[in-house]
Amino acid sequence: MATLNLQHLDKIYDNKVQAVFDFNLDINDGELIVLVGPSGCGKSTTLRMVAGLEDISAGRLLIDGKDITTMPPKDRDIAMVFQNYALYGHMTVYENMAFSLVLRKEDKNVIHQKVLAAAEILGLTDQLNKKPSQLSGGQRQRVAMGRAIVRTPKVFLFDEPLSNLDAKLRGATRREILLLHKRLKATMIYVTHDQTEALTLADRIVCMSMGYVQQIGTPLELYDTPANLFVASFIGLPPMNFFEGRVEKGSFVCDDFRFKAGGQYFALLQAYEGKEVVLGVRPENVVAVDGSVPGDLSDRDLAEIEGGGVNVTVSLNENLGQTTLVHGSTGHSKIVCKFREWCNFTSGVKVKVSFDRVHFFDKETTKAIR
């Protein structure tokens, strides 16, 4: 068990590419932190700096209060699970899991007990005599986790551990990792480009873009109160809809509609009179107000939009079971609506919608207006 402090970490590679800028994070004992962002945003570089696989160009890294910035990886007591498993093909599952302990010259009985205990946790007891080639992708990933567990490290690092698995297995293995975290109560850092993994796994998410931390918070904080346009568009699926406009006499005005800002929104927009802002609305906050989706209207506190709503011309209807994704256009902008019913809209049909929750962003700085 361990706390970690990442203080002002920079990474500049030899080719002068700066991959990470001023990364700051204090990780609590037993916390599961997920670093999320698009490919190339610096997630793996950050993780590799924690592991000691990349030098830290500037800043300090502490584990349990002790400075380990320049400590070699083998002394850090950190175990890493990679996307490509990195198992030894000629060794059995048992030997793979025992390997690091054999290297450490641990007692044979202790090794045996640790391997059996890890195999039990991971459901691998019946697979111990097999070679990795005889296992499925999901089982191989579990062996890779087992290899980390037997070492009882202070910190577990996961680098996109599920990306080689198919969608169904990815979901199942993700839930296993969550259970594993609850069981081990270990400090973990998990890297992924998948916002669903971040939302479902994390105690706290660190959302990154282009080497910079964009926001740190609980999954609900990032989903509910995104700090800027990047986080708003990255977290949530389908992504948030955006409308560019400006504030006129306390209303948000864009090419396709006028939103009369009342209540909490009025206070927010007052300071932006005459300025360019972006209105964001999640697909699940779009409500059909013309009766075309009867179940959609119940208990919803709707925005006041001139003319009673925004006209959407439907282009595509995607049924997901309990909900329907309706893709369309408001004239100048695309919109995705997530309605709470099975719908059968045909292309070209018009639906009038309103919103029960919106977000505003400063167009110039991209920051959320709060």
Residues that bind ligand ADP (CB under 6 A): 13, 15, 17, 19, 37, 39-45
Question: Which CB atom, from 13 or from 88, has the smaller least distance to ligand ADP?
Answer: 13
C-alpha span between 238 and 60 (Å, rounded): 38
- Residue 165 DSSP class: S
| Residue placing its CB nearer to ligand ADP in the complex, 43 or 170 | 43
- Tell me how far CA of residue 10 lies from CA of 57, 95, 112, in angstroms: 5, 38, 41
Provide Rg for the chain, Cα atoms.
25
Q: Shortest Cβ distance from residue 130 to ligand ADP (Å)? A: 32
The Cα 43–Cα 212 span in angstroms is: 10
Residue 76 and residue 81: Cα distance in Å, rounded?
15
Nearest-approach distance from CB 41 to ligand ADP, in angstroms = 4
What is the nearest approach in angstroms of ligand ADP to the Cβ of residue 13?
3
- Nearest-10 Cα torsion for 320, 236, 171, 49: 160
Select 41 or 189, whichever has its Cβ closest to ligand ADP: 41
- The residue among 190 and 259 lying less far from ligand ADP, judged by its C-beta, is 190
Smallest gap from residue 264 Cβ to ligand ADP (A)? 35
| Nearest distance, CB of residue 239 and ligand ADP, angstroms | 19
Q: How far, in whole angstroms, is CA 160 from its chain's centroid? A: 11
Q: Which is nearer to ligand ADP, 39 or 264 (CB)?
A: 39
Query: What's the rounded Cα separation, in Å, for the pair 42 and 211?
Result: 5
What is the nearest approach in angstroms of ligand ADP to the Cβ of residue 58?
16
**CB nearer ligand ADP, residue 48 or residue 340:** 48
Q: What is the DSSP letter of 322?
A: S
- Show contacts of 74-77: CB within 8 Å, 24+ apart: 76/51, 76/52, 76/154, 76/155, 77/2, 77/153, 77/154, 77/155
